[in-house]
Copies of this chain bind each other. A is one copy, B any other.
Amino acid sequence: MSLAESVLTGEQRSLARLLTEVENGTAEGRLALDELFSHTGRAHLIGVTGGTGTGKSSLVNRLALHYRHPETGKSKRVAVVAVDPSSPFTGGAVLGDRVRMRDLAGDRGVFIRSMASRGSLGGLAQATAAVTQVFDAAGYDLILVETVGAGQAEVDIARLAHTTLVVEAPGLGDEVQAIKAGILEIADILVVNKADLPGVAKTERALKSMLGLAHPVRKVFPQHGQTPSDPELERDEAPSWTPPVERTVATDGTGVDKLASAIDRHARYLRRSGDWARRERARLEVELEMLLTERLVGRFRAQVNERRYQEMVDRLTRRELSPWAAVDLLLN
Protein backbone atom coordinates (compact mmCIF):
# COMPACT_ATOMS: atom_id res chain seq x y z
CA MET A 1 0.00 0.00 0.00
CA SER A 2 1.40 3.42 -0.97
CA LEU A 3 1.79 6.23 1.56
CA ALA A 4 -1.11 8.07 -0.09
CA GLU A 5 -3.33 4.98 0.20
CA SER A 6 -2.53 4.61 3.92
CA VAL A 7 -3.47 8.25 4.40
CA LEU A 8 -6.79 7.65 2.64
CA THR A 9 -7.58 4.79 5.05
CA GLY A 10 -7.25 7.27 7.92
CA GLU A 11 -4.01 5.91 9.31
CA GLN A 12 -2.69 8.71 11.56
CA ARG A 13 0.98 7.80 11.53
CA SER A 14 1.08 7.78 7.75
CA LEU A 15 -0.64 11.16 7.78
CA ALA A 16 2.02 12.60 10.10
CA ARG A 17 4.77 11.10 7.97
CA LEU A 18 3.31 12.43 4.74
CA LEU A 19 2.98 15.92 6.21
CA THR A 20 6.70 15.88 6.98
CA GLU A 21 7.57 14.67 3.49
CA VAL A 22 5.39 17.38 1.96
CA GLU A 23 6.85 20.10 4.18
CA ASN A 24 10.35 19.05 3.22
CA GLY A 25 9.41 18.97 -0.44
CA THR A 26 10.67 15.42 -1.01
CA ALA A 27 10.00 13.36 -4.14
CA GLU A 28 7.93 10.92 -2.09
CA GLY A 29 5.77 13.77 -0.81
CA ARG A 30 5.29 15.11 -4.31
CA LEU A 31 4.24 11.70 -5.65
CA ALA A 32 1.75 11.22 -2.82
CA LEU A 33 0.28 14.69 -3.41
CA ASP A 34 -0.16 13.83 -7.06
CA GLU A 35 -1.96 10.62 -6.08
CA LEU A 36 -4.14 12.36 -3.49
CA PHE A 37 -5.13 15.34 -5.62
CA SER A 38 -8.30 13.75 -7.02
CA HIS A 39 -9.55 13.32 -3.43
CA THR A 40 -9.29 17.03 -2.62
CA GLY A 41 -11.79 19.85 -2.99
CA ARG A 42 -14.16 18.92 -0.18
CA ALA A 43 -12.81 20.71 2.90
CA HIS A 44 -13.76 24.22 4.02
CA LEU A 45 -10.49 26.17 4.32
CA ILE A 46 -10.62 28.84 7.00
CA GLY A 47 -7.79 31.35 7.39
CA VAL A 48 -7.37 32.94 10.81
CA THR A 49 -4.99 35.89 11.03
CA GLY A 50 -4.25 38.63 13.54
CA GLY A 51 -1.41 40.09 15.59
CA THR A 52 0.20 38.75 18.71
CA GLY A 53 -1.77 39.44 21.87
CA THR A 54 -5.17 38.98 20.23
CA GLY A 55 -5.61 35.48 21.66
CA LYS A 56 -5.94 34.07 18.17
CA SER A 57 -4.50 30.67 19.07
CA SER A 58 -6.96 30.16 21.94
CA LEU A 59 -9.77 31.15 19.63
CA VAL A 60 -8.71 28.57 17.06
CA ASN A 61 -8.64 26.03 19.88
CA ARG A 62 -12.20 26.93 20.89
CA LEU A 63 -13.41 26.75 17.31
CA ALA A 64 -11.89 23.30 16.90
CA LEU A 65 -13.59 22.18 20.15
CA HIS A 66 -16.89 23.63 18.94
CA TYR A 67 -16.88 21.57 15.78
CA ARG A 68 -16.05 18.46 17.80
CA HIS A 69 -19.06 18.95 20.11
CA PRO A 70 -21.64 20.82 18.07
CA GLU A 71 -25.15 21.19 19.48
CA THR A 72 -26.46 19.23 16.52
CA GLY A 73 -24.58 16.18 17.73
CA LYS A 74 -22.77 15.80 14.40
CA SER A 75 -19.02 16.00 14.89
CA LYS A 76 -16.74 17.30 12.17
CA ARG A 77 -13.08 16.44 11.65
CA VAL A 78 -10.83 19.47 12.12
CA ALA A 79 -7.22 20.17 11.11
CA VAL A 80 -5.26 23.13 12.45
CA VAL A 81 -2.24 24.39 10.51
CA ALA A 82 -0.36 27.01 12.55
CA VAL A 83 2.01 28.95 10.31
CA ASP A 84 4.71 31.27 11.58
CA PRO A 85 6.18 33.33 8.75
CA SER A 86 8.06 35.66 11.10
CA SER A 87 10.61 33.01 11.96
CA PRO A 88 12.33 32.46 8.63
CA PHE A 89 15.77 31.46 9.86
CA THR A 90 15.52 29.45 13.02
CA GLY A 91 13.01 26.96 11.66
CA GLY A 92 11.75 26.64 15.24
CA ALA A 93 8.00 26.99 15.55
CA VAL A 94 7.22 29.73 18.05
CA LEU A 95 3.72 28.33 18.04
CA GLY A 96 5.07 24.91 19.04
CA ASP A 97 3.39 22.98 21.79
CA ARG A 98 0.59 25.10 23.01
CA VAL A 99 -1.67 24.94 26.01
CA ARG A 100 -4.61 24.14 23.82
CA MET A 101 -3.13 20.80 22.87
CA ARG A 102 -4.29 19.59 26.28
CA ASP A 103 -7.98 20.20 25.54
CA LEU A 104 -7.73 18.37 22.27
CA ALA A 105 -5.21 15.70 23.19
CA GLY A 106 -6.40 12.20 22.46
CA ASP A 107 -9.14 13.39 20.11
CA ARG A 108 -8.36 11.64 16.83
CA GLY A 109 -10.75 13.91 14.97
CA VAL A 110 -8.42 16.87 15.48
CA PHE A 111 -4.95 17.16 14.01
CA ILE A 112 -2.69 20.12 14.84
CA ARG A 113 0.38 20.92 12.78
CA SER A 114 2.85 23.79 13.33
CA MET A 115 4.87 25.07 10.39
CA ALA A 116 7.75 27.52 10.28
CA SER A 117 9.12 29.12 7.15
CA ARG A 118 12.30 27.72 5.65
CA GLY A 119 13.91 30.60 3.84
CA SER A 120 11.50 31.78 1.20
CA LEU A 121 8.04 33.15 1.58
CA GLY A 122 6.89 31.62 -1.69
CA GLY A 123 8.09 28.30 -0.30
CA LEU A 124 6.00 28.73 2.83
CA ALA A 125 2.79 29.56 0.95
CA GLN A 126 3.42 26.57 -1.31
CA ALA A 127 4.11 24.21 1.60
CA THR A 128 1.00 25.43 3.41
CA ALA A 129 -1.10 24.83 0.31
CA ALA A 130 0.32 21.32 0.02
CA VAL A 131 -0.33 20.53 3.70
CA THR A 132 -3.96 21.67 3.42
CA GLN A 133 -4.36 19.41 0.38
CA VAL A 134 -3.17 16.43 2.39
CA PHE A 135 -5.70 17.16 5.17
CA ASP A 136 -8.41 17.73 2.57
CA ALA A 137 -7.74 14.37 0.91
CA ALA A 138 -7.53 12.66 4.33
CA GLY A 139 -11.14 13.67 4.94
CA TYR A 140 -10.85 16.60 7.33
CA ASP A 141 -14.01 18.72 6.98
CA LEU A 142 -12.58 21.98 8.27
CA ILE A 143 -9.01 23.18 7.95
CA LEU A 144 -8.08 26.16 10.10
CA VAL A 145 -4.94 27.88 8.82
CA GLU A 146 -3.63 30.22 11.48
CA THR A 147 -1.00 32.91 10.79
CA VAL A 148 0.64 35.53 13.01
CA GLY A 149 0.68 39.18 12.05
CA ALA A 150 -0.63 41.30 9.23
CA GLY A 151 2.10 41.41 6.63
CA GLN A 152 2.16 40.27 3.04
CA ALA A 153 2.89 36.70 4.16
CA GLU A 154 -0.44 36.53 5.96
CA VAL A 155 -2.27 38.04 3.02
CA ASP A 156 -0.77 35.46 0.67
CA ILE A 157 -1.66 32.61 2.98
CA ALA A 158 -5.16 33.97 3.58
CA ARG A 159 -5.71 33.88 -0.18
CA LEU A 160 -5.68 30.10 0.11
CA ALA A 161 -8.79 30.15 2.27
CA HIS A 162 -12.48 30.09 1.43
CA THR A 163 -13.22 32.13 4.53
CA THR A 164 -10.80 34.54 6.21
CA LEU A 165 -11.13 35.62 9.84
CA VAL A 166 -9.21 38.67 11.06
CA VAL A 167 -8.85 38.73 14.84
CA GLU A 168 -8.43 41.91 16.90
CA ALA A 169 -8.50 42.65 20.63
CA PRO A 170 -9.36 45.79 22.58
CA GLY A 171 -6.59 48.16 23.59
CA LEU A 172 -3.97 47.29 21.01
CA GLY A 173 -3.72 50.94 19.98
CA ASP A 174 -4.97 52.93 17.03
CA GLU A 175 -1.58 53.00 15.35
CA VAL A 176 -1.42 49.23 15.17
CA GLN A 177 -4.90 49.13 13.73
CA ALA A 178 -4.17 51.75 11.07
CA ILE A 179 -1.41 49.52 9.75
CA LYS A 180 -3.87 46.72 9.26
CA ALA A 181 -5.97 48.42 6.60
CA GLY A 182 -4.51 46.04 4.03
CA ILE A 183 -5.45 42.90 5.88
CA LEU A 184 -8.98 44.14 6.52
CA GLU A 185 -9.60 44.07 2.80
CA ILE A 186 -9.28 40.31 2.79
CA ALA A 187 -11.46 39.77 5.89
CA ASP A 188 -14.71 37.86 5.45
CA ILE A 189 -15.41 37.90 9.19
CA LEU A 190 -13.94 40.19 11.84
CA VAL A 191 -13.53 38.99 15.40
CA VAL A 192 -13.01 41.15 18.46
CA ASN A 193 -11.61 38.60 20.88
CA LYS A 194 -11.02 39.32 24.60
CA ALA A 195 -14.38 41.08 24.43
CA ASP A 196 -14.53 41.10 28.25
CA LEU A 197 -11.78 43.74 28.32
CA PRO A 198 -12.54 47.47 28.51
CA GLY A 199 -12.50 49.27 25.19
CA VAL A 200 -14.31 46.56 23.24
CA ALA A 201 -16.94 48.97 21.90
CA LYS A 202 -14.23 51.39 20.75
CA THR A 203 -12.33 48.62 18.94
CA GLU A 204 -15.53 47.41 17.30
CA ARG A 205 -16.35 50.95 16.13
CA ALA A 206 -12.82 51.42 14.75
CA LEU A 207 -13.05 48.13 12.85
CA LYS A 208 -16.46 48.99 11.43
CA SER A 209 -15.30 52.37 10.21
CA MET A 210 -12.17 50.83 8.67
CA LEU A 211 -14.33 48.16 7.04
CA GLY A 212 -16.21 50.97 5.33
CA LEU A 213 -12.91 52.13 3.83
CA ALA A 214 -11.70 48.66 2.97
CA HIS A 215 -14.94 47.51 1.33
CA PRO A 216 -16.30 50.74 -0.16
CA VAL A 217 -18.34 49.01 -2.86
CA ARG A 218 -19.60 45.45 -2.45
CA LYS A 219 -20.37 43.42 -5.50
CA VAL A 220 -24.05 42.68 -5.40
CA PHE A 221 -25.71 39.48 -6.53
CA PRO A 222 -28.02 38.63 -8.26
CA GLN A 223 -26.81 39.73 -11.66
CA HIS A 224 -27.89 39.19 -15.27
CA GLY A 225 -31.63 39.68 -15.26
CA GLN A 226 -32.39 38.08 -11.93
CA THR A 227 -34.80 39.91 -9.68
CA PRO A 228 -33.28 42.80 -7.72
CA SER A 229 -32.42 42.23 -4.10
CA ASP A 230 -35.30 42.37 -1.66
CA PRO A 231 -34.65 44.51 1.45
CA GLU A 232 -36.85 42.10 3.41
CA LEU A 233 -34.67 39.17 2.36
CA GLU A 234 -33.58 36.87 5.19
CA ARG A 235 -30.06 37.57 6.33
CA ASP A 236 -29.07 34.11 5.23
CA GLU A 237 -30.34 34.77 1.74
CA ALA A 238 -28.69 38.17 1.39
CA PRO A 239 -27.33 38.62 -2.13
CA SER A 240 -24.03 40.16 -1.02
CA TRP A 241 -21.63 39.65 1.87
CA THR A 242 -20.79 42.38 4.36
CA PRO A 243 -18.15 41.18 6.82
CA PRO A 244 -19.82 40.87 10.23
CA VAL A 245 -17.97 41.83 13.42
CA GLU A 246 -18.25 39.09 16.06
CA ARG A 247 -17.29 39.43 19.74
CA THR A 248 -15.68 36.46 21.48
CA VAL A 249 -13.98 35.54 24.75
CA ALA A 250 -11.84 32.56 23.78
CA THR A 251 -10.83 31.80 27.37
CA ASP A 252 -14.42 30.86 28.39
CA GLY A 253 -15.94 30.22 24.96
CA THR A 254 -18.35 33.18 24.90
CA GLY A 255 -19.46 34.03 21.37
CA VAL A 256 -17.78 31.03 19.73
CA ASP A 257 -21.11 29.42 18.74
CA LYS A 258 -22.18 32.65 17.09
CA LEU A 259 -18.84 32.93 15.31
CA ALA A 260 -19.18 29.36 14.04
CA SER A 261 -22.65 30.24 12.71
CA ALA A 262 -21.18 33.19 10.83
CA ILE A 263 -18.55 30.86 9.33
CA ASP A 264 -21.26 28.42 8.20
CA ARG A 265 -23.32 31.28 6.80
CA HIS A 266 -20.30 32.46 4.83
CA ALA A 267 -19.78 28.98 3.38
CA ARG A 268 -23.42 28.92 2.24
CA TYR A 269 -23.05 32.41 0.79
CA LEU A 270 -19.95 31.33 -1.14
CA ARG A 271 -21.72 28.33 -2.66
CA ARG A 272 -24.88 30.26 -3.54
CA SER A 273 -23.05 33.19 -5.14
CA GLY A 274 -20.59 31.10 -7.09
CA ASP A 275 -17.66 32.58 -5.14
CA TRP A 276 -16.70 29.17 -3.77
CA ALA A 277 -15.96 27.90 -7.28
CA ARG A 278 -14.27 31.19 -8.25
CA ARG A 279 -11.95 31.06 -5.21
CA GLU A 280 -11.14 27.39 -5.89
CA ARG A 281 -10.27 28.19 -9.49
CA ALA A 282 -8.14 31.21 -8.58
CA ARG A 283 -6.28 29.14 -6.00
CA LEU A 284 -5.58 26.29 -8.41
CA GLU A 285 -4.45 28.75 -11.07
CA VAL A 286 -1.93 30.29 -8.66
CA GLU A 287 -0.70 26.81 -7.77
CA LEU A 288 -0.27 25.87 -11.43
CA GLU A 289 1.67 29.08 -12.04
CA MET A 290 3.98 28.44 -9.10
CA LEU A 291 4.74 24.91 -10.27
CA LEU A 292 5.25 26.05 -13.86
CA THR A 293 7.67 28.77 -12.75
CA GLU A 294 9.60 26.31 -10.61
CA ARG A 295 9.87 23.85 -13.48
CA LEU A 296 10.80 26.46 -16.10
CA VAL A 297 13.55 27.92 -13.93
CA GLY A 298 14.79 24.46 -12.93
CA ARG A 299 14.93 23.34 -16.56
CA PHE A 300 16.79 26.47 -17.59
CA ARG A 301 19.35 26.22 -14.80
CA ALA A 302 19.99 22.54 -15.62
CA GLN A 303 20.66 23.54 -19.21
CA VAL A 304 22.93 26.54 -18.69
CA ASN A 305 26.57 26.02 -17.88
CA GLU A 306 27.10 26.88 -14.20
CA ARG A 307 30.51 28.41 -14.86
CA ARG A 308 29.05 30.64 -17.57
CA TYR A 309 26.30 31.68 -15.15
CA GLN A 310 28.81 32.60 -12.46
CA GLU A 311 30.86 34.54 -15.01
CA MET A 312 27.74 36.59 -15.77
CA VAL A 313 27.36 37.37 -12.08
CA ASP A 314 31.06 38.38 -11.97
CA ARG A 315 30.49 40.78 -14.85
CA LEU A 316 27.46 42.20 -13.02
CA THR A 317 29.52 42.89 -9.90
CA ARG A 318 32.10 44.69 -12.06
CA ARG A 319 29.20 46.66 -13.63
CA GLU A 320 30.35 45.65 -17.11
CA LEU A 321 26.88 44.39 -17.86
CA SER A 322 23.41 45.26 -16.59
CA PRO A 323 21.12 42.51 -15.24
CA TRP A 324 18.85 42.96 -18.28
CA ALA A 325 21.73 42.56 -20.69
CA ALA A 326 22.85 39.47 -18.74
CA VAL A 327 19.38 37.91 -19.10
CA ASP A 328 19.45 38.61 -22.85
CA LEU A 329 22.84 36.95 -23.17
CA LEU A 330 21.82 33.92 -21.10
CA LEU A 331 18.62 33.37 -23.06
CA ASN A 332 20.17 33.72 -26.52
Contact = CB atoms under 8 A, between A and B. Distances in A.
Interface of A: 30, 33-34, 37-41, 52-53, 85-90, 92, 94, 117, 121-122, 124, 148-156, 173, 175-176, 178-183, 185-186, 214, 277, 280-281, 284-285, 287-289, 291-293, 295-297, 299-300, 312-313, 316-317, 319-320, 322-327, 330-331
Contact of A152 (B151, B183, B293): B151
A1 to B, nearest CB: 20
Contacts of A150: 86, 149
- Identical subunits present: 2
A300 B316 CA distance: 26
A207 B88 CA distance: 18
A182 B327 contact: no
Nearest to A185: B89
Given A152-B152, A156-B121, A316-B284, A324 B34 contact: yes
Contacts of A297: 289, 292-293, 296
A90 B182 contact: yes
Contact of A288 (B30, B214, B326): B326
Nearest to A153: B152
The 10 closest A-B pairs by CB, nearest first: A151-B151, A37-B322, A121-B152, A87-B182, A89-B185, A284-B316, A296-B296, A152-B153, A34-B322, A38-B319
B152 A86 contact: yes
A288 B316 CA distance: 9
